[in-house]
Amino acid sequence: MSIIKQRKVLGYTIPELNLGDDFDELTASHFIDEIQKIYAKIESSRKDISDTNRKAALTALEMMKELDRIQNLQKHISDKYEKKIKDLVKMLDDAQSVR
């Protein structure tokens, strides 16, 4: 069981965060750092928002936007390779039927 102590996450100081068995401390720390980078970017670019909850919500939306972009890219790559594999199998089938 991993525990992160005294970290700031999305504008809030978390005295202790029990991670259970889902994460090791190094991975969780890395994730928190990445979340904080997005939060800091929103904080600096959106001076019109002072509410921490709204900044946290925008941070979550930015994270989901990036996740969606990566998933779409992954799907595009998978579809591209799937088509190439089907073309190759067809080419092999055609070559076998010529014999």
What's the pLDDT at 84? 93
What's the pLDDT at 26? 84
The mean-pLDDT minimum among 15-29, 58-72, 79-93 falls in: 15-29
Query: By C-alpha distance, which of 70, 69, 62 is closest to 40?
Result: 62
What's the pLDDT at 99? 67
Q: How far apart are CA 41 and CA 59, in angstroms?
A: 9
Give per-residue pLDDT as tens, 36-58. Answer: 999 999 999 999 999 999 999 99
Q: How far apart are CA 54 and CA 87, in angstroms?
A: 49
Q: How far apart are CA 96 and CA 93, in angstroms?
A: 5
43 backbone φψ class: left, alpha, beta (φ>0; ψ -120 to 50):
alpha
Whole-structure pTM over 0.85, yes or no? Answer: no
Helix-strand-coil percent breakdown of the chain, rounded to 5? 70, 15, 15
Q: How far apart are CA 74 and CA 66, in angstroms?
A: 12
- For the chain, give the mean pLDDT: 88
